[in-house]
A and B are shown apart, each in its own frame.
Chain A
Amino acid sequence: MGRPKIARKSTNIDMTAMCDVAFLLLSFFILTTKFKPAEAITVVTPNSVSSKPAPEKDFVLVTIDKDGKVFFSMDDENKKAFIAESINNTKNLGLNVNAFKKAGFIGAPFSQLSQFLAIPEDQRKGAALPGIPCKDSANNEMVEWFRLVKSAYGGQKVNLLLKGDNSSKYPAFKNVVAALKKNELFKFQMVTNPESAPTGSELYKKQMSGEKSN
């Protein structure tokens, strides 16, 4: 079996190497992608045209879930310890300061706070928790929480964030805002999902002409 002598050059390129690279990159991205951890409180945030990213540090986050339950969280552990101590001093609850420091969020009235902290972190699920009471102005514990935040931060800059669920009713929001006002905290931010300005609207024209929106 003789082979033909003319060496014909093939136009086929060996795709194997490229395929290898592609899948190597693919597996790298799949493995390094940090999936959002399952959140203890499920909240679907509304959309807005705001293009400012939400602050990731020095924040105090108030979450309102779809049933109107209010949860409180903040990132600075030192300030949290300060808050836990001042709660212990003023209300004599005997809280475990370390557990308070490590808690991802707070979702119980002051009277049940120590029981709340006794629940293991991974078993605190928003749906089963009572939330912080702020249903009416007479028993609005958020006022107390914001007062603590204010004293913990002193004059420092704090980012107040409010994260509400699409279908939560307005009164919950109103009561949180009322608590903010009582503490003379007049500036806060609402966490939303980004959305582009509708074509043809005034903001759209502004953005197109290169003007910066806030």
Chain B
Amino acid sequence: MAEMDTSGGGGHKKGPGVKKAKKLSTRVDLTPMVDLGFLLITFFIFTTTMSQPTALNLYLPKDTDKPEEQNKAKESGAFTILLGKDNHVFYYEGILDNSNASTNFKSANFGSGDDGIRSAILKKKSSTNPQDFVVVIKPSDDCEYKNVVDILDEMAINVVKRYALVDISDIEVQLINATEASAPK
């Protein structure tokens, strides 16, 4: 099939002095072509099945004005994450007030390194009673949707059972704006 008939009809003999030209084989090695074909097939098989989107669950708390119905978080177990613009993350433990703002308010990034938010969460998690540990996520108006999903994902990655999305307060916005310039990327 992959050869062509090059014998040139009949096979009549040429004259006695004429030497017959060497016939080159026209057989082509098809192995690389088959390889390529199967490679592409594999590619298409994989790409057709793997692009199913997934969904991340989020349960919202019920808004309530009555203090007795609100969930209480212990100060010692609270860990607040603030999301700023340009993928900045800030966090503090417990309650933030004027006396401890300079030491308690820290910045981090979305990386998995030592200054990443993951190591900060894990540090807090390991040093707190699991029953008291609660993460409060406060996205600022400047942060992107991606950051919110990333931080919720971080909760799943670090198996944080209790976390909540809370609106940010003005003081925290001011603190973010003040520290943003010097914050690591």
Q: Which residues of A contact B (CB under 8 A)?
A: 1, 12, 14-16, 18-19, 22-23, 25-26, 29-30, 33, 45-55, 64, 161, 164-174, 177, 180-181, 184, 186-195, 197-198, 201-204, 206, 213-214
Contact = CB atoms under 8 A, between A and B. Distances in A.
26 contacts: A15-B2, A15-B30, A16-B2, A18-B30, A26-B41, A29-B45, A45-B53, A46-B150, A48-B152, A54-B53, A54-B54, A166-B144, A167-B144, A169-B141, A169-B142, A169-B143, A170-B143, A188-B57, A189-B55, A189-B57, A191-B53, A191-B55, A192-B55, A193-B53, A193-B54, A194-B53
B27 interface: yes
Contact of A202 (B61, B140, B153, B158): B158
B154 to A, nearest CB: 9
B56 A189 contact: yes
Contacts of B140: 170
Interface string B116-160: 001000100000000000000001111111111110110011110
Interface of B: 1-2, 11, 13, 27, 29-31, 33-34, 37-38, 40-41, 44-45, 47-48, 52-63, 83, 112, 118, 122, 139-150, 152-153, 156-159, 165, 167
A29 B60 contact: no
Nearest to B140: A170
Given A170-B141, A191-B53, A29 B41 contact: yes
Contacts of B158: 201-203
Chain A binding surface SS class: mixed
Contacts of B62: 181, 184, 186
Contact of B31 (A15, A198, A204): A15
Given A171-B141, A189-B57, 7 more contacts: A48-B156, A54-B53, A170-B83, A170-B147, A189-B58, A204-B157, A206-B159
A64 B145 contact: yes
A53 B60 contact: no
Contacts of A194: 52-54
A49 B153 contact: yes
A170 B37 contact: no
Contacts of B141: 169-171
A167 B142 CA distance: 11
A196 to B, nearest CB: 10
B83 to A, nearest CB: 7
B131 to A, nearest CB: 17
A18 to B, nearest CB: 5
Contacts of A161: 55
A206 B160 CA distance: 13
Nearest to A193: B53
Contacts of A192: 53-56, 149, 153
B156 A213 contact: yes
From A18, A30, A46, A191, name the one whose CB has the most chain B CB atoms within 10 angstroms.
A46
Nearest to B61: A186
Contact of B44 (A26, A52, A174, A195): A26
B34 A22 contact: yes
A48 B145 contact: no
A78 B147 CA distance: 37
A144 B107 CA distance: 39
A124 B139 CA distance: 32
B52 A54 contact: yes
